[in-house]
Amino acid sequence: MAKIVVVYTSQTGFTQQYALWIAKSLHCEVLDTKFITTEDLAKNNLVIYGGHVIGQRITGFRQFYHQYQAALPIPLFVFGTGIAQLDGDSQQRLRKQNFGECTTPPQFFYFHGHVARVKPPLRMRVGMKVRGVKPERAQCVIGTQAVRPLLEAVVRQEPTSGW
């Protein structure tokens, strides 16, 4: 079995929850980017990075990639979370914006989440209003089912990479 680590950055706990679902399903370590070291990454066969999608940016990914590029194994998986629905064109622009400097572009997954029935923080409401985003609560899949596409890609990757 591969040694896998899920690394995430989260300000509100939204992305952290997805990281925890992934780590639980893969039975692997999960680390906040505030606490990782080069050694944490180098000892693994697969790194999965998660950040919140804001506009065309995956929070913290560029800094993470530049700082740890030499220690990152290939393949690298990245997931983004957000409350906006992203179509194929939006996801393609997101890939170009965030992975243009990557030697080998990572596999990317977008997880469309939902806003709880309680009011989101003011800064999120303002950002949503500016971008014209309206959360669609009813269409969101939550729990480990939400991360299934990434989990299936990890399983498909494992036999071909010689882990």
* Calpha distance 71→124 (Å, rounded): 34
Q: In 54-147, which residue ranges form alpha helices assigned H by DSSP?
A: 61-68, 88-99, 122-131
pTM of the model as a whole: 0.81
Q: Which of 150, 118, 148 is nearest to 135 (CA)?
A: 118
* pLDDT tens figures, 23-71: 999 999 999 999 999 999 999 999 999 999 998 999 999 999 999 999 9
